[in-house]
Protein backbone atom coordinates (compact mmCIF):
# COMPACT_ATOMS: atom_id res chain seq x y z
CA UNK A 1 0.00 0.00 0.00
CA UNK A 2 1.18 3.55 -0.71
CA UNK A 3 1.10 5.67 2.38
CA UNK A 4 -0.04 9.26 2.77
CA UNK A 5 2.46 12.00 3.59
CA UNK A 6 1.08 13.48 6.79
CA UNK A 7 2.38 16.50 8.71
CA UNK A 8 1.42 17.04 12.35
CA UNK A 9 1.92 20.57 13.69
CA UNK A 10 2.68 20.40 17.42
CA UNK A 11 4.43 17.75 19.55
CA UNK A 12 2.15 18.01 22.60
CA UNK A 13 0.09 15.12 23.93
CA UNK A 14 -2.42 15.37 21.05
CA UNK A 15 0.19 15.66 18.30
CA UNK A 16 2.33 12.79 19.57
CA UNK A 17 -0.67 10.53 20.18
CA UNK A 18 -1.89 11.19 16.62
CA UNK A 19 1.62 10.76 15.18
CA UNK A 20 2.07 7.39 16.89
CA UNK A 21 -1.36 6.15 15.78
CA UNK A 22 -0.88 7.34 12.17
CA UNK A 23 2.64 5.87 12.00
CA UNK A 24 1.25 2.59 13.35
CA UNK A 25 -1.39 2.71 10.56
CA UNK A 26 1.46 2.75 8.02
CA UNK A 27 1.56 6.42 6.99
CA UNK A 28 4.60 8.60 6.36
CA UNK A 29 4.33 10.99 9.33
CA UNK A 30 6.44 14.03 10.23
CA UNK A 31 5.88 16.18 13.35
CA UNK A 32 6.76 19.89 13.29
CA UNK A 33 7.30 21.44 16.73
CA UNK A 34 8.07 25.10 17.38
CA UNK A 35 10.16 24.46 20.54
CA UNK A 36 13.85 23.56 20.27
CA UNK A 37 13.34 20.46 22.45
CA UNK A 38 10.81 18.82 24.73
CA UNK A 39 10.45 20.94 27.87
CA UNK A 40 9.65 19.43 31.27
CA UNK A 41 6.79 21.84 32.03
CA UNK A 42 3.56 21.31 33.93
CA UNK A 43 3.26 18.69 36.61
CA UNK A 44 0.21 16.54 36.46
CA UNK A 45 -2.10 14.89 34.03
CA UNK A 46 -5.08 13.00 35.39
CA UNK A 47 -5.81 10.32 32.80
CA UNK A 48 -9.22 8.76 33.33
CA UNK A 49 -9.82 5.16 32.10
CA UNK A 50 -11.03 6.24 28.63
CA UNK A 51 -7.74 8.09 28.07
CA UNK A 52 -5.60 5.21 29.36
CA UNK A 53 -7.51 2.74 27.15
CA UNK A 54 -6.83 4.92 24.10
CA UNK A 55 -3.16 5.21 25.12
CA UNK A 56 -2.81 1.46 25.66
CA UNK A 57 -3.56 0.73 22.00
CA UNK A 58 -0.65 2.93 20.94
CA UNK A 59 1.78 0.21 21.98
CA UNK A 60 3.05 -1.79 24.89
CA UNK A 61 6.02 0.49 25.52
CA UNK A 62 3.74 3.50 26.06
CA UNK A 63 1.35 1.53 28.27
CA UNK A 64 4.26 0.17 30.35
CA UNK A 65 5.95 3.56 30.71
CA UNK A 66 2.69 5.24 31.79
CA UNK A 67 2.08 2.55 34.40
CA UNK A 68 5.67 2.63 35.63
CA UNK A 69 5.63 6.34 36.42
CA UNK A 70 1.90 6.95 37.06
CA UNK A 71 -0.06 6.56 40.28
CA UNK A 72 -3.44 4.81 40.54
CA UNK A 73 -5.84 6.81 42.72
CA UNK A 74 -7.88 4.49 44.92
CA UNK A 75 -11.16 6.46 44.66
CA UNK A 76 -12.74 9.58 43.25
CA UNK A 77 -14.16 11.46 46.24
CA UNK A 78 -16.18 14.69 46.47
CA UNK A 79 -16.13 16.69 49.71
CA UNK A 80 -17.89 19.90 50.71
CA UNK A 81 -15.54 22.83 51.27
CA UNK A 82 -16.54 23.84 54.83
CA UNK A 83 -18.11 20.80 56.51
CA UNK A 84 -15.86 18.25 54.80
CA UNK A 85 -18.94 16.08 54.17
CA UNK A 86 -18.39 13.42 51.52
CA UNK A 87 -21.00 13.80 48.75
CA UNK A 88 -19.78 11.12 46.38
CA UNK A 89 -17.27 8.25 46.23
CA UNK A 90 -16.44 6.18 43.16
CA UNK A 91 -14.05 3.23 43.42
CA UNK A 92 -11.19 3.67 40.94
CA UNK A 93 -8.06 1.42 41.10
CA UNK A 94 -8.68 -2.22 40.18
CA UNK A 95 -12.44 -1.79 40.14
CA UNK A 96 -12.29 0.90 37.42
CA UNK A 97 -9.85 -1.24 35.46
CA UNK A 98 -12.24 -4.21 35.60
CA UNK A 99 -15.20 -2.05 34.60
CA UNK A 100 -13.63 0.11 31.89
CA UNK A 101 -10.75 -2.02 30.62
CA UNK A 102 -8.08 0.41 31.87
CA UNK A 103 -7.20 2.10 35.16
CA UNK A 104 -7.13 5.79 36.02
CA UNK A 105 -3.52 7.00 36.03
CA UNK A 106 -2.20 10.27 37.40
CA UNK A 107 1.10 11.00 35.78
CA UNK A 108 3.63 13.78 35.34
CA UNK A 109 2.87 15.53 32.05
CA UNK A 110 6.54 15.27 31.00
CA UNK A 111 6.60 11.51 31.70
CA UNK A 112 3.56 11.06 29.46
CA UNK A 113 5.15 13.16 26.70
CA UNK A 114 8.39 11.18 27.04
CA UNK A 115 6.51 7.87 26.74
CA UNK A 116 4.79 9.10 23.55
CA UNK A 117 8.00 10.58 22.11
CA UNK A 118 10.11 7.48 22.85
CA UNK A 119 7.69 5.29 20.90
CA UNK A 120 7.84 7.50 17.78
CA UNK A 121 10.90 7.58 15.45
CA UNK A 122 13.01 10.51 16.70
CA UNK A 123 14.14 11.46 13.18
CA UNK A 124 10.51 12.18 12.30
CA UNK A 125 10.18 15.01 14.85
CA UNK A 126 11.52 18.33 13.57
CA UNK A 127 12.13 20.90 16.33
CA UNK A 128 12.40 24.66 15.82
CA UNK A 129 9.65 24.52 13.19
CA UNK A 130 7.05 27.17 13.92
CA UNK A 131 4.20 26.95 11.41
CA UNK A 132 3.46 30.34 9.91
CA UNK A 133 1.46 30.04 6.69
CA UNK A 134 -0.71 27.25 5.38
CA UNK A 135 -2.31 26.97 1.94
CA UNK A 136 -4.67 24.21 0.90
CA UNK A 137 -4.68 23.14 -2.76
CA UNK A 138 -6.85 20.67 -4.65
CA UNK A 139 -4.37 17.81 -4.10
CA UNK A 140 -2.89 18.64 -0.68
CA UNK A 141 -1.57 21.34 1.64
CA UNK A 142 1.62 23.33 1.75
CA UNK A 143 3.03 24.70 4.97
CA UNK A 144 5.67 27.33 5.54
CA UNK A 145 7.67 27.92 8.73
CA UNK A 146 9.18 30.99 10.34
CA UNK A 147 12.73 29.66 9.70
CA UNK A 148 12.48 30.57 5.99
CA UNK A 149 12.97 26.96 4.90
CA UNK A 150 11.24 25.78 1.72
CA UNK A 151 7.50 25.12 2.14
CA UNK A 152 6.59 21.45 2.69
CA UNK A 153 3.89 19.82 0.56
CA UNK A 154 1.69 17.24 2.31
CA UNK A 155 -1.32 15.03 1.55
CA UNK A 156 -2.74 15.73 5.02
CA UNK A 157 -2.03 18.40 7.63
CA UNK A 158 -3.06 17.83 11.25
CA UNK A 159 -3.26 20.89 13.50
CA UNK A 160 -2.23 19.72 16.99
CA UNK A 161 -0.89 23.14 17.91
CA UNK A 162 -2.96 23.86 20.98
CA UNK A 163 -5.42 26.55 22.02
CA UNK A 164 -3.75 29.28 19.88
CA UNK A 165 -3.63 27.02 16.80
CA UNK A 166 -2.39 28.61 13.57
CA UNK A 167 -3.85 25.69 11.61
CA UNK A 168 -7.26 26.47 13.05
CA UNK A 169 -6.81 30.14 12.12
CA UNK A 170 -5.81 29.14 8.57
CA UNK A 171 -9.00 27.09 8.30
CA UNK A 172 -11.54 29.30 10.04
CA UNK A 173 -10.01 32.75 10.47
CA UNK A 174 -8.64 34.51 13.54
CA UNK A 175 -10.67 34.42 16.76
CA UNK A 176 -9.03 34.69 20.16
CA UNK A 177 -9.71 32.25 23.01
CA UNK A 178 -11.84 33.74 25.81
CA UNK A 179 -10.51 34.40 29.32
CA UNK A 180 -12.89 32.62 31.68
CA UNK A 181 -12.28 34.83 34.72
CA UNK A 182 -10.83 31.77 36.48
CA UNK A 183 -7.23 31.18 37.58
CA UNK A 184 -5.61 27.88 38.52
CA UNK A 185 -2.89 27.20 41.11
CA UNK A 186 -0.76 24.04 40.90
CA UNK A 187 1.60 22.67 43.53
CA UNK A 188 3.35 19.39 44.29
CA UNK A 189 4.22 18.41 47.86
CA UNK A 190 5.85 15.26 49.29
CA UNK A 191 3.03 12.97 50.48
CA UNK A 192 4.90 12.44 53.75
CA UNK A 193 4.02 16.05 54.65
CA UNK A 194 0.25 15.58 54.20
CA UNK A 195 -0.13 11.94 55.24
CA UNK A 196 -2.53 12.98 58.03
CA UNK A 197 -5.14 14.07 55.47
CA UNK A 198 -7.66 11.22 54.99
CA UNK A 199 -7.69 9.31 51.68
CA UNK A 200 -4.50 10.96 50.47
CA UNK A 201 -4.03 8.28 47.77
CA UNK A 202 -7.48 9.08 46.32
CA UNK A 203 -8.50 11.75 43.81
CA UNK A 204 -10.36 14.17 46.08
CA UNK A 205 -12.26 17.23 44.96
CA UNK A 206 -13.23 19.87 47.51
CA UNK A 207 -16.26 21.73 46.12
CA UNK A 208 -16.11 25.39 47.07
CA UNK A 209 -18.84 27.94 47.79
CA UNK A 210 -18.89 29.26 44.19
CA UNK A 211 -18.78 27.26 40.91
CA UNK A 212 -15.17 28.31 40.14
CA UNK A 213 -13.85 27.57 43.61
CA UNK A 214 -12.41 24.09 44.18
CA UNK A 215 -9.34 22.23 45.39
CA UNK A 216 -8.41 18.91 43.80
CA UNK A 217 -5.69 16.60 45.13
CA UNK A 218 -4.34 13.31 43.87
CA UNK A 219 -1.20 11.15 44.11
CA UNK A 220 1.66 11.70 41.70
CA UNK A 221 4.98 9.93 41.11
CA UNK A 222 3.58 6.58 42.29
CA UNK A 223 2.13 8.19 45.40
CA UNK A 224 5.37 9.66 46.73
CA UNK A 225 4.07 13.15 45.94
CA UNK A 226 0.67 14.78 46.22
CA UNK A 227 -0.55 17.12 43.51
CA UNK A 228 -2.73 20.08 44.48
CA UNK A 229 -4.83 21.90 41.92
CA UNK A 230 -6.96 24.84 43.05
CA UNK A 231 -9.12 27.18 40.99
CA UNK A 232 -10.90 30.39 41.87
CA UNK A 233 -12.44 33.42 40.18
CA UNK A 234 -9.93 36.25 39.70
CA UNK A 235 -10.54 38.75 36.93
CA UNK A 236 -7.32 40.68 37.40
CA UNK A 237 -4.85 37.93 36.34
CA UNK A 238 -4.78 37.11 32.61
CA UNK A 239 -1.43 35.38 32.13
CA UNK A 240 -1.57 31.90 30.59
CA UNK A 241 1.56 29.96 31.57
CA UNK A 242 2.85 26.54 32.69
CA UNK A 243 5.83 28.10 34.49
CA UNK A 244 4.82 31.39 36.19
CA UNK A 245 5.20 31.35 39.98
CA UNK A 246 2.21 32.41 42.07
CA UNK A 247 2.06 33.43 45.71
CA UNK A 248 1.52 30.73 48.35
CA UNK A 249 0.11 33.38 50.70
CA UNK A 250 -2.47 34.37 48.08
CA UNK A 251 -3.35 30.72 47.51
CA UNK A 252 -3.92 30.14 51.24
CA UNK A 253 -5.89 33.38 51.44
CA UNK A 254 -8.41 32.25 48.81
CA UNK A 255 -9.23 29.07 50.74
CA UNK A 256 -8.84 30.35 54.31
CA UNK A 257 -12.41 29.29 55.25
CA UNK A 258 -12.08 25.75 53.89
CA UNK A 259 -12.16 22.64 56.12
CA UNK A 260 -8.93 22.01 58.13
CA UNK A 261 -8.08 18.95 55.96
CA UNK A 262 -8.10 21.13 52.82
CA UNK A 263 -6.16 23.91 54.54
CA UNK A 264 -3.55 21.39 55.72
CA UNK A 265 -2.79 20.63 52.06
CA UNK A 266 -2.18 24.29 51.27
CA UNK A 267 -0.09 24.74 54.45
CA UNK A 268 2.27 22.06 53.08
CA UNK A 269 3.00 24.01 49.86
CA UNK A 270 6.36 25.79 49.55
CA UNK A 271 5.73 27.14 46.06
CA UNK A 272 2.91 27.29 43.55
CA UNK A 273 2.42 27.90 39.82
CA UNK A 274 -0.38 30.09 38.58
CA UNK A 275 -2.16 30.35 35.24
CA UNK A 276 -5.27 32.00 33.85
CA UNK A 277 -7.75 29.64 32.17
CA UNK A 278 -8.97 30.26 28.61
CA UNK A 279 -11.48 28.38 26.46
CA UNK A 280 -13.44 28.53 23.23
CA UNK A 281 -16.90 27.50 22.10
CA UNK A 282 -17.35 24.16 20.33
CA UNK A 283 -16.80 24.25 16.55
CA UNK A 284 -19.53 22.97 14.22
CA UNK A 285 -16.82 21.45 11.95
CA UNK A 286 -13.04 21.23 11.98
CA UNK A 287 -11.95 19.39 8.82
CA UNK A 288 -11.50 20.19 5.13
CA UNK A 289 -10.36 18.10 2.15
CA UNK A 290 -6.77 17.83 3.45
CA UNK A 291 -6.66 19.42 6.92
CA UNK A 292 -8.06 18.65 10.32
CA UNK A 293 -7.48 19.44 14.01
CA UNK A 294 -6.95 17.42 17.20
CA UNK A 295 -6.89 18.28 20.91
CA UNK A 296 -6.91 21.85 22.18
CA UNK A 297 -6.60 23.17 18.61
CA UNK A 298 -10.24 22.18 18.05
CA UNK A 299 -11.82 21.85 21.51
CA UNK A 300 -9.93 23.59 24.32
CA UNK A 301 -11.88 23.16 27.54
CA UNK A 302 -11.94 23.99 31.21
CA UNK A 303 -10.10 21.41 33.37
CA UNK A 304 -13.13 20.60 35.57
CA UNK A 305 -13.77 17.17 34.01
CA UNK A 306 -10.02 16.50 33.52
CA UNK A 307 -10.63 15.51 29.91
CA UNK A 308 -8.53 17.86 27.73
CA UNK A 309 -5.58 15.52 27.25
CA UNK A 310 -7.87 12.50 27.20
CA UNK A 311 -9.88 13.99 24.36
CA UNK A 312 -6.65 14.78 22.48
CA UNK A 313 -5.47 11.15 22.79
CA UNK A 314 -8.89 9.80 21.75
CA UNK A 315 -8.86 12.16 18.73
CA UNK A 316 -5.49 10.82 17.57
CA UNK A 317 -6.70 7.22 17.73
CA UNK A 318 -9.99 7.83 15.92
CA UNK A 319 -8.24 9.98 13.30
CA UNK A 320 -5.72 7.22 12.55
CA UNK A 321 -8.48 4.62 12.34
CA UNK A 322 -10.33 6.87 9.88
CA UNK A 323 -7.23 7.24 7.68
CA UNK A 324 -6.18 3.55 7.91
CA UNK A 325 -6.05 1.99 4.45
CA UNK A 326 -6.38 5.35 2.67
CA UNK A 327 -3.62 5.79 0.10
CA UNK A 328 -4.96 8.40 -2.34
CA UNK A 329 -5.08 12.12 -1.54
CA UNK A 330 -8.52 12.31 -3.18
CA UNK A 331 -9.90 9.97 -0.49
CA UNK A 332 -8.61 12.03 2.42
CA UNK A 333 -11.55 14.44 2.68
CA UNK A 334 -14.09 11.65 3.26
CA UNK A 335 -11.82 10.01 5.84
CA UNK A 336 -11.40 13.30 7.74
CA UNK A 337 -15.17 13.82 7.67
CA UNK A 338 -15.57 10.33 9.15
CA UNK A 339 -13.14 11.24 11.95
CA UNK A 340 -14.92 14.50 12.67
CA UNK A 341 -18.36 12.86 12.64
CA UNK A 342 -17.20 10.28 15.19
CA UNK A 343 -15.73 12.89 17.54
CA UNK A 344 -17.70 16.11 17.34
CA UNK A 345 -20.71 15.34 19.56
CA UNK A 346 -18.61 13.79 22.33
CA UNK A 347 -15.96 16.49 22.49
CA UNK A 348 -18.58 19.28 22.32
CA UNK A 349 -20.59 17.72 25.13
CA UNK A 350 -17.50 17.42 27.31
CA UNK A 351 -16.33 20.93 26.39
CA UNK A 352 -19.67 22.41 27.47
CA UNK A 353 -19.95 20.07 30.47
CA UNK A 354 -16.50 21.11 31.69
CA UNK A 355 -17.66 24.72 31.76
CA UNK A 356 -20.46 23.86 34.20
CA UNK A 357 -18.19 22.33 36.85
CA UNK A 358 -20.65 19.90 38.41
CA UNK A 359 -19.28 16.60 37.04
CA UNK A 360 -19.78 13.82 39.66
CA UNK A 361 -20.39 16.30 42.47
CA UNK A 362 -23.18 14.21 43.98
CA UNK A 363 -22.19 10.92 42.33
CA UNK A 364 -23.81 9.89 39.05
CA UNK A 365 -22.87 7.62 36.20
CA UNK A 366 -19.40 8.20 34.73
CA UNK A 367 -19.71 5.43 32.13
CA UNK A 368 -20.36 7.65 29.08
CA UNK A 369 -17.03 9.41 29.67
CA UNK A 370 -14.87 6.70 31.26
CA UNK A 371 -16.30 3.77 29.25
CA UNK A 372 -15.58 5.20 25.77
CA UNK A 373 -13.40 2.99 23.57
CA UNK A 374 -11.59 5.06 20.93
CA UNK A 375 -10.32 1.85 19.30
CA UNK A 376 -13.81 0.37 18.93
CA UNK A 377 -16.22 3.26 18.43
CA UNK A 378 -18.06 2.83 15.09
CA UNK A 379 -16.93 5.02 12.19
CA UNK A 380 -19.79 6.08 9.94
CA UNK A 381 -19.40 6.21 6.18
CA UNK A 382 -19.18 9.93 5.47
CA UNK A 383 -18.91 11.87 2.24
CA UNK A 384 -17.57 15.37 1.76
P1 LIG B 1 -0.74 21.45 23.69
O2 LIG B 1 -0.39 20.66 24.89
O3 LIG B 1 -0.99 22.91 23.87
O4 LIG B 1 0.43 21.24 22.63
C5 LIG B 1 0.54 22.04 21.47
C6 LIG B 1 1.96 21.89 20.91
O7 LIG B 1 2.00 22.61 19.68
C8 LIG B 1 3.01 22.48 21.82
O9 LIG B 1 4.12 21.59 21.90
C10 LIG B 1 3.38 23.79 21.11
O11 LIG B 1 4.74 24.18 21.35
C12 LIG B 1 3.16 23.41 19.65
N13 LIG B 1 2.85 24.57 18.78
C14 LIG B 1 2.01 25.59 19.02
N15 LIG B 1 1.97 26.44 17.98
C16 LIG B 1 2.83 25.94 17.05
C17 LIG B 1 3.22 26.36 15.75
N18 LIG B 1 2.75 27.50 15.20
N19 LIG B 1 4.10 25.61 15.05
C20 LIG B 1 4.62 24.46 15.60
N21 LIG B 1 4.29 24.02 16.84
C22 LIG B 1 3.39 24.74 17.56
N23 LIG B 1 -6.30 17.39 30.69
C24 LIG B 1 -6.51 16.14 31.19
O25 LIG B 1 -6.84 15.22 30.41
N26 LIG B 1 -6.40 15.89 32.53
C27 LIG B 1 -6.04 16.87 33.41
O28 LIG B 1 -5.92 16.59 34.60
C29 LIG B 1 -5.82 18.20 32.91
N30 LIG B 1 -5.48 19.23 33.75
C31 LIG B 1 -5.25 20.47 33.22
C32 LIG B 1 -4.91 21.53 34.10
C33 LIG B 1 -4.70 22.82 33.58
C34 LIG B 1 -4.33 23.94 34.52
C35 LIG B 1 -4.84 23.06 32.20
C36 LIG B 1 -4.62 24.45 31.64
C37 LIG B 1 -5.18 22.01 31.33
C38 LIG B 1 -5.40 20.72 31.85
N39 LIG B 1 -5.73 19.66 31.01
C40 LIG B 1 -5.95 18.41 31.51
C41 LIG B 1 -5.86 19.87 29.57
C42 LIG B 1 -4.64 19.40 28.83
O43 LIG B 1 -3.46 19.94 29.39
C44 LIG B 1 -4.74 19.83 27.36
O45 LIG B 1 -6.03 19.56 26.87
C46 LIG B 1 -3.75 19.06 26.52
O47 LIG B 1 -2.43 19.30 26.97
C48 LIG B 1 -3.87 19.49 25.05
O49 LIG B 1 -2.85 18.88 24.31
P50 LIG B 1 -2.58 19.37 22.85
O51 LIG B 1 -1.49 18.46 22.35
O52 LIG B 1 -3.83 19.45 22.08
O53 LIG B 1 -2.05 20.87 22.98
* Residue pLDDT, tens place only, 109-125: 999 999 999 999 999 99
Ligand 1 mean position, distance from CA 312 (Å): 9
Whose Cα sits closest to atom 29 in ligand 1? 306
Ligand 1 mean position, distance from CA 164 (Å): 10
What does pLDDT average to over the chain? 95
Residue 219 has pLDDT above 50, yes or no: yes
Angle at 215 between CA 210 and CA 217, to 5 degrees: 160
- 30: phi then psi, degrees, rounded to nearest 5: -125, 135
Does ligand 1 lie within 6 Å of residue 296's CB atom?
yes
Question: pTM for this structure?
Answer: 0.97
When computed from its CA atoms, the radius of gyration of the chain, rounded to whole angstroms, is: 21
Average pLDDT over residues 19-41: 93
Query: Best of 309, 319, 347, 370 to mutate for ligand 1, by most ligand atoms within 8 A of CB?
Result: 309
Ligand 1 mean position, distance from CA 259 (Å): 32
Residue 47, beta-bridge partner list: 105
Whose Cα sits closest to atom 53 in ligand 1? 162
Whose Cα sits closest to atom 47 in ligand 1? 309
pLDDT at 381: 66
Residue 197 has pLDDT above 50, yes or no: yes
Decide: 90 and 82 in contact? Cβ < 8 Å: no
Does ligand 1 lie within 6 Å of residue 73's CB atom?
no
pLDDT at 382: 53
Residue 9 has pLDDT above 60, yes or no: yes
The atom number, within ligand 1, closest to the CA of 297 reads: 52
d(CA 175, CA 193) in angstroms, rounded, equals: 45
Ligand 1 mean position, distance from CA 269 (Å): 25
Does ligand 1 lie within 6 Å of residue 14's CB atom?
yes
Ligand 1 mean position, distance from CA 14 (Å): 7
Whose Cα sits closest to atom 28 in ligand 1? 46
d(CA 193, CA 43) in angstroms, rounded, equals: 18
More confident residue, 382 or 356: 356
The atom number, within ligand 1, closest to the CA of 294 reads: 52
The atom number, within ligand 1, closest to the CA of 308 reads: 45
Q: What is the ipTM of this complex?
A: 0.96
d(CA 258, CA 260) in angstroms, rounded, equals: 6
What confidence tier does 6 reach under pLDDT thresholds 50, 70, 90? very high
d(CA 35, CA 50) in angstroms, rounded, equals: 29
Range scoring the smallest mean pLDDT among 115-119, 145-149, 241-245, 328-332: 241-245
For the segment 291-350, what is each residue's pLDDT rounded down to a tens digit?
A: 999 999 999 999 999 999 999 999 999 999 999 999 999 999 999 999 999 999 999 999
d(CA 227, CA 45) in angstroms, rounded, equals: 10
DSSP, res 71: B
Q: Which residues contact 341 (CB under 8 A, 6 or more apart)?
A: 379, 380, 382
Ligand 1 mean position, distance from CA 280 (Å): 14
Ligand 1 mean position, distance from CA 39 (Å): 12
Does ligand 1 lie within 6 Å of residue 109's CB atom?
no
Does ligand 1 lie within 6 Å of residue 225's CB atom?
no
Does ligand 1 lie within 6 Å of residue 228's CB atom?
no
What confidence tier does 383 reach under pLDDT thresholds 50, 70, 90? very low
For the segment 35-53, what is each residue's pLDDT rounded down to a tens digit?
A: 998 877 777 899 999 999 9
The DSSP result for 293-348, as a single string, is: E-GGGT----GGGS-HHHHHHHHHHHHHHHHTT--SGGGHHHHHHHHHHHHHHHHH
pLDDT at 276: 97
The atom number, within ligand 1, closest to the CA of 275 reads: 34
pLDDT at 1: 62
pLDDT at 384: 42
Range scoring the smallest mean pLDDT among 26-40, 71-85, 179-193, 205-219: 26-40
Helix (H, G, I), strand (E, B) or coil at 95: helix
Amino acid sequence: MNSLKIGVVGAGIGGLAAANALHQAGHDVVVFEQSRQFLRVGADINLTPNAVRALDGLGSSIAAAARASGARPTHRISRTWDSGEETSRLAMGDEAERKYGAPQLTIHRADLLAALADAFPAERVQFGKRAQAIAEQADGVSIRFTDDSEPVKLDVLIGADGIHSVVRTAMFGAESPRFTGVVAFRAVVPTERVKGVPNIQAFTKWWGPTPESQIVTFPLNQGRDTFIFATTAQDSWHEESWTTEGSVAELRGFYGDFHPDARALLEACDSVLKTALYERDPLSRWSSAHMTLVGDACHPMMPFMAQGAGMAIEDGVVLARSLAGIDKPAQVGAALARYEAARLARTSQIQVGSRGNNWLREGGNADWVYGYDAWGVPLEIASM
